[in-house]
């Protein structure tokens, strides 16, 4: 099986702590194919002997690998390399202002429309709420280097976020405001493609019928709806990138 080395050699390799060394060592073998899916990884007590450490240290390394779905641990049976199932990619969807500034481009924001109203039936359906309440409806545009980057169409539930009534969305993008004023929400994203209708085309300064990437984000907090937003990006210039590890 050629597990390498003594603990000392491993630690000499770089300056990581022991459990990280063990984790990386096992991960390397899995990713390199040395231990293929289904392979039984040495028992904890064997790894203890090999790395000359206590069981808790081995356990910490294996627990993290199990959390990452790289291995599967079965009582009495042992620990096995998992067969990758779904390609779970991590998609980082940044706040648009932060994203554009992070790209080193100049950011511009324009508020197109902002109104406060009692939620109508369509609003309630979109926010997934039953009771009638007040909402803020916002349309705005984000630009990078003075080129339209995305247009945004948003509803904010004022019952959940009453402070939003006092916010000034003429200068601050609602997404950024919410990010700083409503901590720790949960969300669901839906990504699709559409062709630009007249209004979208005008907003993004593209041709009617040009492809657009659409991201719908529905955000809630402790079972209460916070906001629903639809973002249109020019499809030929914007791309979402997701990186992952897993098969």
Total residues contacting DNA by CB under 7 A comes to: 26
Give the interface segment with DNA, choosing from 56-64, 94-102, 121-129, 165-173 (CB under 7 A): 56-64
CB of 180 to DNA, least distance (A): 23
The CA-based angle 29-30-34, given to 5 degrees, is 55
Residues 6+ apart with CB under 8 A from 15: none
d(CA 186, CA 222): 8
CB of 50 to DNA, least distance (A): 12
Q: What is the CA radius of gyration of the chain?
A: 25
The listed partner (DNA, a second copy, none) that binds 205, CB under 5 to 8 Å by sort, is none
Q: Is 230 in the site for DNA (CB under 7 A)?
A: no
Residues 18-47 that bind DNA (CB under 7 A): 18-20, 41, 43-45
Q: Is 221 in the site for a second copy (CB under 8 A)?
A: yes
The listed partner (DNA, a second copy, none) that binds 210, CB under 5 to 8 Å by sort, is a second copy
Main-chain phi, psi angles of 204, to 5 degrees: -95, 0
Q: Is 244 in the site for a second copy (CB under 8 A)?
A: yes
**Residue of the chain from 95, 110, 159, 172 that contacts a second copy (CB under 8 A):** 95
d(CA 142, CA 108): 6
Going by C-alpha positions, the residue among 139, 137, 138 that lies closest to residue 124 is 137
Residues 102-161 that bind a second copy (CB under 8 A): none
The listed partner (a second copy, DNA, none) that binds 53, CB under 5 to 8 Å by sort, is DNA
Minimum CB distance to DNA smaller for 28 or for 52: 52
Residues 6+ apart with CB under 8 A from 205: 147, 148
Residue pair 83/236 in contact by the 8 Å Cβ criterion:
no
- The Cβ of residue 158 has, within 10 Å, a number of other Cβ atoms equal to 18
**Residue of the chain from 74, 86, 130, 131 that contacts a second copy (CB under 8 A):** 86
Largest distance between two CA atoms of the chain: 69
Q: At what angle do helices 18-32 and 55-67 cross, to 10 degrees?
A: 50
| Residues near DNA (CB under 7 A) | 17-20, 41, 43-45, 52-57, 59-60, 62-63, 66, 73-79
| Residues near a second copy (CB under 8 A) | 30-33, 36-37, 56, 67, 70, 81, 83-95, 98, 179-180, 183-195, 209-214, 217, 221-222, 233, 235-236, 238-247
């Amino acid at each position: 099986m050629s597990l390498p080395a003594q603990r000392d050699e491993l630690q000499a390799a770089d300056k990581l702590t022991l459990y990280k060394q063990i984790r990386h060592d096992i991960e390397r073998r899995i990713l390199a194919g040395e231990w293929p899916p289904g392979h039984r990884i040495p028992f904890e007590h064997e790894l203890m002997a090999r790395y000359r450490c206590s069981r808790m240290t081995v356990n910490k390394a294996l627990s993290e690998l199990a959390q990452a779905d790289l291995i599967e641990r079965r009582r009495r049976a042992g620990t096995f390399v998992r067969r990758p199932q779904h390609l779970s990619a991590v998609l980082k969807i940044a706040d648009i202002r932060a994203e554009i500034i992070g790209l080193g481009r100049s950011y511009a924001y324009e508020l197109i429309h902002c109104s406060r109203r009692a939620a109508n039936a369509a609003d309630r359906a979109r926010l997934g709420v039953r009771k009638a309440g007040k909402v803020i409806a916002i349309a705005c545009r984000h630009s990078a280097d003075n080129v339209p980057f995305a247009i945004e169409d948003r509803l904010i539930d004022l019952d959940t976020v009453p402070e939003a009534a006092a916010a000034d969305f003429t200068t601050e993008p609602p997404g950024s405001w919410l990010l700083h004023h409503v901590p720790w929400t949960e969300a669901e994203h839906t990504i699709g493609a559409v062709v630009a209708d007249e209004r979208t085309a005008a907003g993004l300064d593209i041709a009617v019928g040009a492809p657009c990437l659409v991201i719908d984000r529905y955000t809630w907090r402790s079972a209460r709806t916070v906001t629903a937003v639809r973002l249109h990006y020019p499809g030929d210039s914007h791309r979402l990138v997701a990186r992952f590890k897993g098969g």
